[in-house]
Amino acid sequence: MTLLAIIIILFAGGIIAWLSERYLQKGGRWISLVSLLLAALLLVNYWSYLGTPQSVSGGPWWDSLQAAWIPRFGISFHLAVDGLSFLMLTLTIAMGIFGLVMTWNDINFRRGFFYFNFLWTLAGVVGVFTAIDLFLFFFFWEVMLIPMLFLIAVWGYEKRIYAAIKFFIFTQASSLLMLIAIVGLAYIHYRNSGQLTFNYNELLGAELTANAAYWLMLGFFIAFIVKLPALPFHTWLPDAHTQAPTAGSILLAAILLKTGAYGLLRFNLPLFPESSMAFAPVAMTIGAISVIYGAMLAFAQRDMKRLVAYSSVSHMGFVLLGLYALDTIAVQGAVMQMIAHGLSTAALFALVGALQHRLHTRDMQQLGGVWAILPKLSAVALFFAIASLGLPGLGNFVAEFTVLVGSFRSNHWITALAAIGLIGAALYALLMMQRVFFGKLRNQFESPSESGDTADLSLRESCALLSLALLLVVIGLRPQPIFNISEPTVTQAIAEIKAVAPDQNLLSSQSQRQEILISTGDKSP
Amino acid sequence: MNAQELFGILPLLLVSAGIVILLLQVSFWRGHVGALATTIITLVLAGISCFWVAGTLSTGASSIQVTGLLLVDHTSLFFALLLLLTAIAVCIMGYSYLRMRCNPKVNSGSYPEEFYILLLLAMLGATTLVFASHFATFFLGLELISLALYPMLGFAVNGDLSPQKEQLQSLESAIKYLLLSALSTALGLFGIALIYSASGSLSFSGIASHMTELSQTSTLFATGVTLLLISVAFKLSLVPFHIWTPDVYQGAPTPTTALIATVGKGAVIGFLLRFFSTLDLYESQVLIDMLSIAAVASMLVGNLLALMQTNIKRLLAYSSIGHIGYLIVAFIIGKSTFGTEAVIYYLVAYIITTLGAFAVVGLIADSVEEKVLNGEYPENPTLNSENPYQCDFYRGLLWRSPWLAGCMAAMLLSLAGIPLTIGFIGKFYIFTAGIEGQLWILLASVVIGSALGLFYYLRLLLIMVQRDNIVTEEPSGSVQIATSGNLLLIILTGALLVFGIFPQLLINWINAL
């Protein structure tokens, strides 16, 4: 029931925020904050599961809720949460609160409708991370798009309509392929077993011919890597990110991109183990190329938001690489990268947004020497830029290092190629720092005539940003608790794959041993 | 003809009685509201009688054969009920349309009551068509719809209060439809003649009994069915028989457009389902191939051409071509019970959504027309943003009239097949049907068509939320519509959401057939 309550609170909060616009001028943001805090409180319910070993709780799911929805097709309203979902839910709610607090005063018109869309996007994402019925998953997958579309199209910057339509058509057209794959999977299962169902747990056992599985896998894969985004389908991302309002960029970068990675790990790998294994080299190559290509393009940008957007392509390439290394350590790294990238990129977008709010530009050729007028903001930006390039001691380093270590055993050459991307990351992150914050102050910013405009970070913004920074440090220094939470899901997914590959027993036992090393690491305090 | 047979066609009898009563009523006492009331009462009674007949059907025999011409069964009763409900919505739209444009108090040459007589005639044709089990009733029904539609298409001329341009376009659309419809009828008749000469029978069951010797050998029969299909494809505006659609949709009074887009197509689909399943034409590969080609072409051409439209009625016309293309995908696998269910569900979704979209467009145009007649608005708008049929008029509508724009947005999302709306479940049915029949090429076209469709639906949706003119926001920018219109929109939007979120309700009804 807790899961349903979270989703209902977010949906209802959105509607109330919209309706209240007429009576409370700025009430919408308080209503949003209260609903998000309530959702966070509900999430704390699951705290008790964190310590318990998996065998005690019985089955992989911590909590689930099932109700008949469309019995005609064997579709049920089935939500469930496990370690991976819990991590993603926490990230979602936390980034929701962060985005809301960072843009507390930014929205000047149609506030009610803005907070409506903001909360509905979050509600859709919560649904995506907890839906266990494939039809329900697709339902939420679509529900989160429409409010996001409005966020970009109404409150975005200059080319917002173009960006919004591009974003929507890319994700929607690809998700239709996924819908066909979902229905195809359910239909084949129905033909084999006589039972029509969209339940994930039952479809896991579907018997597919190799050919059918490969095509179905591709249907899912394309939908997920469009969202991720990986190389051939990434072009919507820079536009959407750049044109979206700050809060929208934060949601996109921190949460929406993660739904693609989550889908790959939750659905693609366990549902189609054989074909995923056959496809792994291709997917890893796409991941590695995305890493390098994203870094190169980020390096070439003038617009700060585009730079951060392309850096996302690069970072999510690591996720793809790690997931398809089909190795427990690499997948664990990918999960860590999802979280670390969520935190650091959300902060970077928030900072670029704050900078634009104050200086009215995000063109790096017009900026320079900002440190002199905005010291606090610049220092925080330095921290997150360095986090993003993967400085040891911060979350991103742990994530990227683990991905590379894990993938190296699967495929040396591709991993080596991807590692080059780390150099690119250092280049673009430092270049951005140098161009924007160091150097000589440009004339037009020298005399802060409108003193209110160029005020440094307020207490509210500082607190929000510093708490993210703190989180990154904590994750960087002590990542083991997070590995422990996601471990059951990851090992199960990998076990499914190893089960179909007897010839790789050697590799499997090797990774088992590594796993034990990692999971025993924290038992000794 | 015994009592049970008479009882079986009670909906038809009630509609006929309504026509006679309305004719008498109008000849003695003219009154717009009175005519509307009689029409709605007739339609409601006919609708209730559908339930009544269905109730006796479920206790006794599963179908009633009435004189070899009509066959009443659960499916046809469902279609009849659906079409009658649609007609009630069209009535309400018609009232809103005629109230200002056809006002006898302003111009004594206005006769708004005739609209309802024609509407009932068209409904008599449509219900006959879905009950038809013989080519005589098929032809009667089809022609009754068309004959009633010609004057309805040209109805803007009545009363002479509509703008000159609207009257001209209305006449144009009537003439176009008349000519092309006559041509298609001729083809259809020729087809029926060929079928008769090949099989020696005009009733569907009679032809079906000869099917075993006919199906493979007779070119005569195949040609006949093909010609008949062409005539039907014209009514459904399947590509390449779609040329008339945009012009007719654009020029006609909006309620008539809604009628032709929903009842005109729904009745024909009802007939096709019965015709194909009685004769088991799904076995004929040639026919299925032809239908497939028409479906692919409709999805692609309809959606591609819709991309280029700025007139919202033309846009909806092209989009409806695409939607009938989707529907044919489900129709092709119709031999299974699932295919029939998918066709009916998609048709319901299509009717609710199309009706809603045209209702919003029509009601907005009516409120603008009211201002024109009161002299508050330019009669011949030069700017696109002042013409209520242009997309530009809808710029920022969400901020001016949030409620109307919300309804329109729901309709557009449903047309685009986004979850929470009935259109999504409809599309889900199409996908499931396509996968069951393993029609991969058709499915690929559905995906491409939907992606193209998204583009223009979204463009319109985003035009509605554009924030540009919030500075110049004036109270006069808002659109006020009548209570009856609001009620209609509430019901349609409610149905769209309820059946979108809880589709099982509707599925149960369809399966209870």
What distance in Å separates residue B156's CA from the closest CA in chain A?
37
Cβ <8 Å between A153 and B462: yes
Query: What type of residue sits at position B239?
Result: V
**Any domain includes A99:** no
Return the SS3 of B72. Answer: strand
| Tokens coding B405 | 């724009």
Cα–Cα distance, A312 to A237 (Å, whole number)? 9
**Any domain includes A318:** yes
Name the least confident of B60-69, B120-129, B179-188, B269-278: B60-69
Partners of A180 on chain B (C-beta within 8 Å) are 431, 434-435, 443, 447
Cβ <8 Å between B450 and A187: no
Total structural domains within chain A = 1
Give the nearest partner residue to B431 out of A153, A168, A179, using CB atoms.
A179
Q: Which helix (H) or strand (E) holds B338?
A: helix B337-373
Listing DSSP states for B371-434 in one string gives HHHTTSS-SS--SGGG-TTBGGGGTTHHHH-HHHHHHHHHHHHHHHT-TTSHHHHHHHHHHHHH
Tens digits of residue pLDDT in A89-129: 999 999 999 988 888 887 777 788 888 999 999 999 999 99
Half-sphere exposure of A215 (CA within 13 A, CB side): 12
Query: Most B CBs within 10 Å: which of A151, A168, A178, A189, as the mutation test of the B interface?
Result: A168
**For residue A509, pLDDT beyond 50:** no
Q: Using DSSP bridges, classify how beta strands B70-73 and A63-70 pair: parallel, antiparallel or unpaired.
A: unpaired
Average pLDDT over every residue of B471-486: 65
Taking the Cβ of residue A179 and every Cβ of chain B, the question of whether any pair is shorter than 8 Å is answered with: yes
What distance in Å separates residue B455's CA from the closest CA in chain A?
7
Give the nearest partner residue to A146 out of B399, B418, B507, using CB atoms.
B418
Calculate what percentage of chain A has a pLDDT beyond 70: 91
Confidence band (pLDDT; 50, 70, 90) for A508? very low
Cβ proximity of B413 and B461 under 8 Å: yes
**Any domain includes A371:** yes
Query: Most A CBs within 10 Å: which of B421, B428, B441, B498, as the mutation test of the A interface?
Result: B428
Q: Looking at chain A, which residue has its C-alpha nearest residue B458?
A: A165
Taking the Cβ of residue A172 and every Cβ of chain B, the question of whether any pair is shorter than 8 Å is answered with: yes
Confidence band (pLDDT; 50, 70, 90) for B177? very high
Partners of A165 on chain B (C-beta within 8 Å) are 455, 458-459, 462
Residue B237 backbone zone (phi > 0: left; psi -120 to 50: alpha; other: beta): left
Name the least confident of B183-187, B398-402, B490-494: B398-402
Output the pLDDT for position A516: 45
Cβ <8 Å between A142 and B432: no
Output the pLDDT for position A270: 86
Output the pLDDT for position A447: 52
ipTM: 0.85
Query: Most A CBs within 10 Å: which of B338, B429, B439, B465, as the mutation test of the A interface?
Result: B465
Cα–Cα distance, A149 to B413 (Å, whole number)? 12
Count of pairs with CB atoms under 8 A, one residue in A, one in B: 76
Cα–Cα distance, B165 to B171 (Å, whole number)? 10
Find tokens 């990774």 and name the residue.
A511
Output the pLDDT for position B284: 80
Average pLDDT over every residue of B90-104: 87
User: ω into residue B253 within 30 of 0, thus cis?
Assistant: no
Short-list A490, A473, A465, CA closest to A98: A465
**For residue B10, pLDDT beyond 70:** yes
Taking the Cβ of residue A8 and every Cβ of chain B, the question of whether any pair is shorter than 8 Å is answered with: no
**Any domain includes A340:** yes
Taking the Cβ of residue A150 and every Cβ of chain B, the question of whether any pair is shorter than 8 Å is answered with: yes
Domain limits for position A297:
290-525
Tens digits of residue pLDDT in A425-475: 888 888 888 888 887 777 666 555 444 456 777 888 888 889 999 999 998
Cβ proximity of B351 and B82 under 8 Å: yes
The DSSP bridge partners found for residue A65 are A79
Tens digits of residue pLDDT in A126-176: 999 999 899 999 999 988 888 999 889 888 888 888 888 889 888 888 888
Confidence band (pLDDT; 50, 70, 90) for A525? very low
What distance in Å separates residue B476's CA from the closest CA in chain A?
19
**Any domain includes A9:** no
Give the nearest partner residue to A143 out of B419, B446, B450, using CB atoms.
B419
Q: Give the number of other Cβ atoms within 10 Å of residue B392's Cβ.
A: 13
Tens digits of residue pLDDT in A175-196: 888 988 998 898 888 888 888 8
Cβ <8 Å between A146 and B413: yes
| Tokens coding A55 | 């065998």
Half-sphere exposure of B146 (CA within 13 A, CB side): 23
**For residue A521, pLDDT beyond 70:** no
Tens digits of residue pLDDT in A18-54: 888 777 777 778 888 888 898 888 888 887 777 655 5
Give the nearest partner residue to B507 out of A72, A150, A168, using CB atoms.
A72
Q: Looking at chain A, which residue has its C-alpha nearest residue B501?
A: A69
Cβ <8 Å between A70 and B455: no
Does B401 or B261 have the greater pLDDT score?
B261
Cβ <8 Å between A150 and B465: yes
**Any domain includes A436:** yes
C-alpha B340: how far from its chain's center?
18
Cβ <8 Å between A172 and B451: yes
Give the nearest partner residue to A169 out of B446, B455, B466, using CB atoms.
B455
Cβ <8 Å between B428 and A179: yes
Query: Most A CBs within 10 Å: which of B344, B445, B462, as the mutation test of the A interface?
Result: B462
The DSSP bridge partners found for residue A252 are none
Tens digits of residue pLDDT in B320-355: 999 999 999 888 887 777 888 889 999 999 999 999
Partners of B451 on chain A (C-beta within 8 Å) are 169, 172-173, 176
Return the SS3 of A363. Answer: strand
Short-list A249, A358, A238, A379, CA closest to A302: A238
**Any domain includes A362:** yes
Partners of A150 on chain B (C-beta within 8 Å) are 465
Give the nearest partner residue to B455 out of A143, A165, A184, using CB atoms.
A165
- CA A399 to each of CA A276, A342, A494, B281, B370: distance values in angstroms, whole numbers, following the listed order: 22, 12, 18, 61, 65
Output the pLDDT for position B304: 92
Taking the Cβ of residue A516 and every Cβ of chain B, the question of whether any pair is shorter than 8 Å is answered with: no
